[in-house]
Structure 1
Amino acid sequence: MLEDIQAAIPLGFFLSFMVGPVFFVLLETSAIKGFRAAITFDIGVLLADILFILVAYFSSFQLLENLSNQPGLYVFGGVILLIYGLVTFFKVGIKEIPLGSKRIKKSDFLGLFVKGFLLNFINIGVLVFWLGIIIIIGPSLDNDPNRFVTFFATVLLSYFITDIFKILLAKQLKKKLTAKRIFMVKKVIGIILLICGLVLIVKGFLPKNQFNIENGLEKLEHTIIE
């Protein structure tokens, strides 16, 4: 069990620094809305990961192949990200940004939780990633359900703890944020979401031979081993 935990911690740390829409929105939420808001958002992200892991665990390599042959799923997720990026980019004008601190309502926390969940859930690549991890790591865990639980619980816990440190660091920027800087942060986040959405859409339109799952798993396995 100790070996499983030791193997899982680096993976959780690595996942926390994977650059994507969740990474940037988490930092933005922490810097602008504070620690509790960012934690709520991150819990939503983790819930989506837990659901993906459960789906992946009770699935098989065949499901991974089927996903690779359904590029429309990438296009769907990419379009949603694209729309969300456009809304983020054009939604707020600099005059609409409050200069003072604003207390977050309970309903706002629910919205942040749902936002974190959906932002992670719409990215089908996350499910493919967890499927790949389970296929690669399964034999070394002897396909033992208890060892699976220990391994992935440790991955998610180390991921969450690393995120807490990221949130605390980003929160330090809050005092330095003026209306103009918040406006620029939101514009940058919008652009990043647009780019991520376009990348997913492009993946959906690539020829099927570009979705080589075996090669992808080999690269992923080398990354984990290293």
Structure 2
Amino acid sequence: MISVITNGVLFGLLLAVMLGPVFFALIQNSIIKGFKAGIYMALGIAIADTAYIFLMYFSVKLFENNDVVSFWMGAAGGFIILITGIMSLRKKSVKLEEQQVNTQRSNFFKQFAKGFILNGINPFVLLYWLGVMTLVTKSYQYDQAEIIVFFTGIIATLLITDFSKVALSHRLRAWVTPRKLNIMNKIVGVALILFSFRLFYHAFEHYN
């Protein structure tokens, strides 16, 4: 079970440092609106991820006894993670904009909805969770209890790292340089590509 938790934390860290619109929006919102607004937004992001995880779990379980569909889902999951990794390698760095801090009282629902919608409408988030769900069910072959532990580890890691981003948002703005962003992009990209190869291997092994 320790290895399951470790894998969950690892995937959580990979997702936490993916430099997509959610990463920058969370830091930007924390700088402009303040600490509470950032926390509310982080909770909205986590709930959107959790909803997608449940959706992908039941989607994968629906076809788990169909060998042909399982093969294609494994291949599709590997392709999704591979493309995500390549996009991370090719992603260009951007710099956070300088803006004035707004000290007005934060509205919980508005900031929560902002995080939920921003994360929820991104099709790559849905595809990413499909790839990860396929990986843990087809390649790692986790049972139901292990899947729960794995994704709990991911969400817990995401919440901890997102709360840390919010708390350190002003320092992160100074730290986020193009060179450091490029390094982070490449590390995440290589890791995801390696995971995609593993999923391809198990999909074709199952097919044979």
Q: TM-score, normalised by structure 2?
A: 0.62
Aligned to 1:210: none
Deviation >6 Å, runs of 4+ = none
* 1:172 Cα deviation from its structure 2 partner: 4.8
* 1:129 Cα deviation from its structure 2 partner: 0.8
CA distance 1:26–1:3, shift in 2 (3 Å): same
Aligned to 1:166: 165
Larger CA deviation: 55-64 vs 22-31: 55-64
- After superposition, the C-alpha distances for 1:171-215 in whole angstroms (9 at most, x for unaligned) are 4589x9xxxxxxxxxxxxxxxxxxxxxxxxxxxxxxxxxxxxxxx
SS at match of 2:168: helix
Matches within 5 A, 1:69-218: 102-105=103-106, 108-139=107-138, 141-172=140-171
Contact kept? 1:9, 1:155, Cα under 8 Å: yes
d(CA) in 2 for partners of 1:100, 1:139: 47
d(CA) in 1 for partners of 2:58, 2:26: 29
- 1:42 matched to 2:45? The reply is no
The structure that has the greater radius of gyration is 1
Contact kept? 2:48, 2:120, Cα under 8 Å: yes
d(CA) in 2 for partners of 1:142, 1:163: 29
Aligned to 1:92: none
Q: TM-score, normalised by structure 1?
A: 0.58
Contact kept? 2:165, 2:172, Cα under 8 Å: no
d(CA) in 1 for partners of 2:21, 2:162: 14
Contact kept? 1:5, 1:151, Cα under 8 Å: yes
d(CA) in 1 for partners of 2:35, 2:198: 32
* 1:5 Cα deviation from its structure 2 partner: 0.5
d(CA) in 1 for partners of 2:101, 2:27: 20
Q: Which runs of 5+ in 1 are unaligned?
A: 69-96, 177-216
d(CA) in 2 for partners of 1:153, 1:173: 26
d(CA) in 2 for partners of 1:169, 1:10: 21
Aligned to 1:16: 16
AA matched with 2:149: T
AA matched with 1:38: G
d(CA) in 2 for partners of 1:219, 1:112: 36
* 1:161 Cα deviation from its structure 2 partner: 0.9
- After superposition, the C-alpha distances for 1:48-68 in whole angstroms (9 at most, x for unaligned) are 101100010000376997xx9
When the two structures are aligned, how many residues end up with a matched partner? 150
Give the share of equivalent positions with the same residue, in percent: 34
CA distance 1:100–1:15, shift in 2 (3 Å): closer
- 1:221 matched to 2:196? The reply is yes
Q: Which runs of 5+ in 2 are unaligned?
A: 64-68, 77-98, 175-191, 200-208
Matches within 5 A, 1:61-76: none
Contact kept? 2:32, 2:101, Cα under 8 Å: no
AA matched with 1:42: A
Aligned to 2:187: none
Aligned to 2:184: none
* 1:222 Cα deviation from its structure 2 partner: 4.0
